[in-house]
């Protein structure tokens, strides 16, 4: 992953990509709702490039010499939102890298935008999203999933103190993003309380209505 060379992306006043050329689907939901799990399915069947904002931030945090490492670490531990200049630049760099590497132009942006100003800035400066896939799940279920994941994840924020803080940030800061997109008719809402297979089935049916179809990977002999 390329280093952050500058933080100019978020301040651009017009999008660098056109939505006709580049498709972005935001994937939102509370911590532990199952976003990453479902994104993996969609990558396999639809050929999306999956960009987890949290993963990109953790990578930058661990990159030797990063001037943002310590700051990112603190925000993640506290369950608060890293300033958008950093996250948007990381996302833009990752999108460009994927396009250069294998020409991929369909992106699932997982766990972003987590704040209204981030949503506005990304759509203004990078590309307007097609829609938002929202995984709806109550906190008691998410808490169980995260504590279970915490047994092996090694994540600094999969502990009960950080989880509670992440829930509060989600309700207070990230839900307004979902609400705004919902008011614009740009949210595909999925009940994430069911098994991963049932959730995925529902995702597939609902995104079909938005013209998103699986890629045909079957080999057809001549």
Ligand X SMILES: O=c1ccn([C@@H]2O[C@H](COP(=O)(O)O)[C@@H](O)[C@H]2O)c(=O)[nH]1
Residue 177 Cβ vs ligand ATP, minimum distance, rounded to whole Å: 14
Strand, coil or helix: 95: helix
State yes or no: residue 53 binds ligand X (CB under 6 A): yes
Options 4, 61, 89, 114; binder of ligand X; rule CB under 6 A: 114
Chain Cα centroid distance, residue 178: 13
Residues between 24 and 43 with contacts to ligand ATP, criterion CB under 6 A? 29, 31-37
Q: Is residue 196 a contact residue for ligand ATP (CB under 6 A)?
A: yes
Question: Which one among 100, 195, 217, 220 touches ligand ATP, defined by CB under 6 A?
Answer: 195
Give which of 189, 146, 137 is closest to 26, Cα–Cα.
189
Q: Which among ligand ATP, ligand X, none contacts residue 32 (Cβ within 5 to 8 A by kind)?
A: ligand ATP
145 binds ligand X per the rule CB under 6 A: no
166 is in an annotated binding site: yes
Per CB under 6 A, does 113 bind ligand ATP?
Answer: no
Quick check: 196 and 37 in contact, CB under 8 A? yes
Q: Is 34 in the site for ligand X (CB under 6 A)?
A: no
Q: Coil, strand or helix: which one is 113?
A: coil
Residues 167, 79: Cα–Cα separation, whole Å = 8
Query: Is 69 assigned a ligand-binding role in the annotation?
Result: no
Q: Which two tokens stand for residue 155?
A: 């994540």
Q: What is the CA radius of gyration of the chain?
A: 17
């Amino acid at each position: 992953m390329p280093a952050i060379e500058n933080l100019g992306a978020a301040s651009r006043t017009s999008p660098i990509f056109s939505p006709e050329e580049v498709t972005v689907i935001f994937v939102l939901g509370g911590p532990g709702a199952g976003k990453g799990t479902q994104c993996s399915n969609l990558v396999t069947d639809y050929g999306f490039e999956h960009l987890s904002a949290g993963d990109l931030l953790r990578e930058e945090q661990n990159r030797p010499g990063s001037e943002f490492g310590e700051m990112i670490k603190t925000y993640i531990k506290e369950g608060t939102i890293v300033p958008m200049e950093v996250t948007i630049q990381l996302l833009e760099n990752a999108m460009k890298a994927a396009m250069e590497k294998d020409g991929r132009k369909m992106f699932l942006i997982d766990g972003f935008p987590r704040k209204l100003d981030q949503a506005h800035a990304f759509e203004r400066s990078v590309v307007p999203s097609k829609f938002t896939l929202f995984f709806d799940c109550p906190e008691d279920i998410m808490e169980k999933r995260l504590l279970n994941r915490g047994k092996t994840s090694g994540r600094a924020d999969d502990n009960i103190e950080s989880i509670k803080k992440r829930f509060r940030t989600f309700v207070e800061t990230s839900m307004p993003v979902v609400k705004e997109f919902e008011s614009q008719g740009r949210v595909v809402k999925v009940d994430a309380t069911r098994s991963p297979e049932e959730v995925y089935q529902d995702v597939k049916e609902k995104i079909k209505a938005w013209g998103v179809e699986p890629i045909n990977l079957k080999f057809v002999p001549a």
